Amino acid sequence: MKTLIKTILLSFPVAALFGCDEAIELDLNQTPPQYVVDALITDQLTDHYVKLSTSVDFYVEGQTPSVSGADVVVSDDKGNVFQFQENENRPGWYSTRFAGKPGSTYKLEVKLPNGETLTAEDTMYPVQSIDSLVWDIDEKAVEDEDPYAYTVKIYVLEPAATKDFYLFKFFRNDSIQNFDSNTGIFYADDELIGGYVNGLEGPENYRKSDTARVEMYRISQDAFLFYNDLDNILNGDGGMTGPSPANPRTNIRSEDGLGLGLFQVAAVDIISIVAGEE
């Protein structure tokens, strides 16, 4: 829960008080594309995806190129091997159906079409359940006649004995809510948490009858560090009052060092309610 404090702190440099900003054109060098892994395996019995793509130059518009024709295999420490298949209508998306098991360590091995190999390893830890998700009325929004007048609050017991890391995802009618800027990341460790999270408000408001869904992932330390670094890049100020931006720490290993992206293995608890319904 350092993130919350960090957000408060860094959201208030002098620039926020007096600053103005304007778009500028950067004169940037071209750079060779680099491979990116975006993989998530949970304890749900569902299709799990490994998405492969490459980076592009900063000013290139549109979707980044996908990487087809790779060999994607995930194995666990119990001897199970999961061969991923590339989807026919979504190039670069590789999937297979199984349920991850908390306590297992998973290995990812990707053989790229050019012969290079990317590897990664992550462990799944059990997640406790969210006690409840309740809605509440935002009086101020009602006053302003804003239809988005419902907030949601989460109640969860956090086990104090272990050092745990979490990632939260908030959905409104199945669409993810990362604030309105596509830069919100809700990750936390329990270092400062007392035990009970008692009605923590979600980041976005809902209309009556919207379905609000919260997914709570128990992530590894590797993944936590990745999200911390990702947050620095997405929400940093270029290194004036925060750290100089640098690519995130990751568990992806390429042949010549660290890769890009994350192989995330996490148990998840999902809860949803309909705003305004008892």
Partner 1 sequence: MRKLIFLSLIFLTGWYQCAVAQQKFTLNGYVKDATNGEELIGVTVLIKESGIGVVSNVYGFYAISLPADTYNVEFSYVGYQSLTQTILLKSNRELNVSLQPSVTEMQEVVISEERSDEFKNVERIEMSRNDIPVDLVKKTPALFGEPDIIKTVQMMPGVISAGEGTSGYFVRGGGADQNLILIDEAPIYDPSHFFGLFSVFNADVIKDSELYKGGIPAQFGGRLSSILEVRTKDGNNQQLSGSGSIGLLASKVMLEGPIANENSSFLLSARRSYADVFLQFANDEDLRENKVYFYDINAKVNWKPDNKNRFFLAGYAGRDNFNFNNLFGFNWGNMTGTFRWNHLFSEKLFSNTTLIASNFDYTLESKQAASEFEWSANLQEFSLKQDFNYFVNPKNILSFGLQATYRSFSPGKIVPGSEDSFYGNTEMAKMYAMDYALYLSNEQQVTQRLSLLYGLRLSVFQNVGETTIYEYAKNEQGIPNNLNIRVTDSTYYRSMEPIKTFAKLEPRFSARYLLGNNNSLKLSYNRMVQYVHLLSNSTVPVPFNTWTPSSPYLNPQLADQLAVGYFHNFQENMYAFSVETYYKKMQDVTDFADNANLLLNQDAPVEYRQGEGESYGLELFLQKNKGRLTGFASYTLSKTDLDIPGVNRGQAFPANYDRRHVGNVMANYSLDDRWSIGSTFTYSTGRPFTLPVGRYQFDDYNVDLFSNRNSYRLPDFHRLDLSGNYEPRRNANRRWKTSWNFAIYNAYNRRNPFTIYTQSIKDEDGRVIDPDKKEARMVYLFPILPSVSYKITF
Q: Strand pairing of 165-172 and 211-219?
A: antiparallel
> For residue 110, what are the CA distances in angstroms to 33, 52, 100, 260, 271?
17, 9, 19, 13, 33
Assess 236 for contact with partner 1 (CB under 8 A): yes
Exactly one of 223, 248, 254, 268 binds partner 1 (CB under 8 A); which one?
A: 248
Closer CB to partner 1, 80 or 183, in the complex = 183
Closest contact distance (angstroms) between CB of 69 and partner 1 is 19
Q: What are phi and psi of 221, to 5 degrees?
A: -60, -40
Exactly one of 221, 269, 274, 276 binds partner 1 (CB under 8 A); which one?
A: 221
Q: Which range in 79-87, 110-118, 123-131, 257-265 contacts partner 1 by CB under 8 A?
A: 257-265
Residues 134-193 binding partner 1 (CB under 8 A) are: 153, 158, 160, 176, 178, 180-183, 185, 191-193
Tokens of 167: 């990632």
Tokens of 18: 């007096």
Closer CB to partner 1, 80 or 243, in the complex = 243
Residue tagged 């600053």 (tokens): 19
Exactly one of 90, 132, 195, 272 binds partner 1 (CB under 8 A); which one?
A: 195
Assess 47 for contact with partner 1 (CB under 8 A): no
Exactly one of 79, 114, 257, 278 binds partner 1 (CB under 8 A); which one?
A: 257
Q: What are phi and psi of 235, to 5 degrees?
A: -120, 10
Calculate the CA 40 to chain-centre distance. Answer: 10
Closer CB to partner 1, 193 or 274, in the complex = 193
> For residue 51, what are the CA distances in angstroms to 35, 64, 72, 102, 224?
10, 12, 10, 22, 20
Residues 201-220 binding partner 1 (CB under 8 A) are: 201
Closest contact distance (angstroms) between CB of 106 and partner 1 is 16
Assess 105 for contact with partner 1 (CB under 8 A): no
Residue type (1 letter), 197: V
Calculate the CA 157 to chain-centre distance. Answer: 22
Residues contacting residue 114 through CB under 8 Å, at least 6 positions apart: none
Exactly one of 186, 229, 259, 271 binds partner 1 (CB under 8 A); which one?
A: 229
Assess 241 for contact with partner 1 (CB under 8 A): yes
62-91 footprint of partner 1 as x/- string (CB under 8 A) = xxx---------------------------
Tokens of 64: 């980044």
Assess 256 for contact with partner 1 (CB under 8 A): no
